[in-house]
Amino acid sequence: MSAVFESRELGSTARLILLALADHADNEGRCYPSIARLSEIRITYSM
């Protein structure tokens, strides 16, 4: 996940998608969530 935060080239949408994929990844970095599963993820933001 740290690579996602450290990247200067990613836009906000790409960053959120990569974070969602990282959240589903196993210890080897593999993940296979469906598009439907990724679309169900709710992001909340509070200050």
What pLDDT does residue 41 have? 76
Is 47 a domain residue? Answer: no
Whole-angstrom distance, CA of residue 15 vs CA of residue 36: 18
Residue 34: give the domain boundaries: 2-40
| Single pTM value for the model | 0.64
Whole-angstrom distance, CA of residue 18 vs CA of residue 14: 6
What pLDDT does residue 43 have? 65
**Count of structural domains, the chain:** 1
- Under the banding of pLDDT at 50, 70 and 90, the label for residue 2 is confident
Question: CB-based contacts of 8: which residues, under 8 Å, 6+ apart?
Answer: none
Is 45 a domain residue? Answer: no
Question: CB-based contacts of 38: which residues, under 8 Å, 6+ apart?
Answer: 17, 20, 21
* Mean pLDDT on 1-30: 85
